[in-house]
């Protein structure tokens, strides 16, 4: 089965694992997914992740984070998709839930959060929103 949108598939796998109250989930790995997982770990949305080489594409083993019985990730949503890319200029970078969530943006400086994009003064493709 070919995958056309690996990021959307990864977001859906994470969302489903949170609804099922799983502690650990595996998703297909790529460089962009690794960058997104770095951001999620740095922003305290996941505990940790490990990249596993399986002689194919690779897998990311994610340890989900819960605060008591509530998940750290309330919702994870894909903004840009293969059929409709969403780009923002540096002065139109979105704010998620008045700063309580994050927007993940792919820029010329790499994959960064909305706060970092505003500090650097860059725009780019909005990958998704997490709160």
Domain range 76-130, CATH class: alpha beta
> CA 12: distance to chain centroid?
11
The CATH topology of domain 6-71 is Ribosomal Protein S8; Chain: A, domain 1 (3.30.1370)
Q: pTM value?
A: 0.92
Strand partners, 128: 78, 104
DSSP string, 59-115: EEEEEE-EETTEES-S-EEE--BTTB--EE-GGG---SGGGTSEEEEEETTEEEEHH
Q: What is the pLDDT along the chain (131 residues), one digit of tens a residue?
A: 457 899 999 999 999 999 999 999 999 999 999 999 999 999 999 999 999 998 888 999 999 999 999 999 999 999 999 999 999 999 999 999 999 999 999 999 999 999 999 999 999 999 999 99
Give me the residue spans of the domains in the chain: 6-71, 76-130
């Amino acid at each position: 089965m070919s995958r056309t949108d690996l990021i959307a598939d990864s977001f859906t796998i994470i969302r489903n694992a949170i609804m099922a109250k799983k502690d650990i989930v595996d998703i297909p790995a790529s460089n962009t997914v690794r960058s997104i997982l770095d951001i999620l770990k740095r922003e305290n949305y996941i505990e940790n992740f490990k990249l596993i080489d399986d002689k194919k594409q690779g897998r990311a083993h994610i340890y989900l984070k819960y605060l008591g019985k509530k998940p750290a990730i309330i919702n994870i949503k894909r903004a840009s998709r293969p059929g409709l890319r969403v780009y923002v200029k540096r002065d139109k970078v979105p704010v998620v839930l008045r700063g309580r969530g994050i927007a993940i943006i792919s820029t010329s400086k790499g994959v960064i959060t909305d706060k970092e994009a505003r500090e650097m003064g860059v725009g780019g493709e909005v990958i998704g929103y997490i709160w």
